[in-house]
Amino acid sequence: MKPVILLRGPVTEDSLDHAWREIEYYKKRDESDIVLIIDSQGGNGTKAIEFIEKVKDFGVNIAAKIYHAESAAALIALAANKRDMVANGLLVIHLGSVQVESCDIGYDCVIPQHFKVMTDEIRKMALGLLDEIGALKPSPYVDKLLATNRLTLTAEQCLELGIVDRIVG
């Protein structure tokens, strides 16, 4: 039986550190095929990208079982080597946004550069992952994602787009 890690709740530095420690634990015991159960409305996209890159460099195979994966959690799900989704699951892809306080906006309405860099990194990662799995082909779904920066997909839609390998339970 494969080891299972649960990513539930907000995607934060702490939650990802916890998941990473579990991955390290299993890898030390020669377990390189790991199931990651995802039930999260997202969180810190920058930390999610760092986590994805760390996992890819570590040489483990992640099979995601998606219950609800939104925003940063969707990035992690898309980066998995294999993806299954529960029948009533949701995948919500965001192409990056940040909450900017009015005090952080210049008098000339300029958004600070680091906010733009964050959203650019998230957008690049999301589109790159979709392209890697073959889900960025022209379609009404892709059109909606590019037009609105957000796309909510059911399990059936994810299967149709090739994002998930199968629908379970």
The closest alpha carbon to 45, from 144, 108, 121, belongs to 121
Q: DSSP for 72-138?
A: HHHHHHHHSSEEEEEEEEEEEEE-------GGGS-TT-PPPHHHHHHHHHHHHHHHHHHHHTT--SS
Give the separation between CA 130 and CA 151, rounded to whole angstroms.
12
How crowded is residue 104: how many other Cβ atoms within 10 Å of its Cβ? Answer: 12
* Helix ranges restricted to H, 35-80: 45-58, 72-79
Q: Please give the pLDDT value at position 115.
A: 63
Mean pLDDT, consecutive 10-residue stretches, the chain (169 aa), reads 97 98 97 98 96 96 98 98 98 80 63 69 95 95 95 98 96
Give the separation between CA 92 and CA 70, rounded to whole angstroms.
4
Q: Are 75 and 129 in contact (CB under 8 A)?
A: yes
- Cβ-in-10-Å burial (0-12, 13-18, 19+) of 78 comes to buried
Q: Please give the pLDDT value at position 101.
A: 61
Q: Please give the pLDDT value at position 119.
A: 80
> Side-chain half-sphere of 160: how many Cα atoms within 13 Å?
9
CATH 3.90.226.10 at 4-168, yes or no? yes
Q: Please give the pLDDT value at position 116.
A: 66
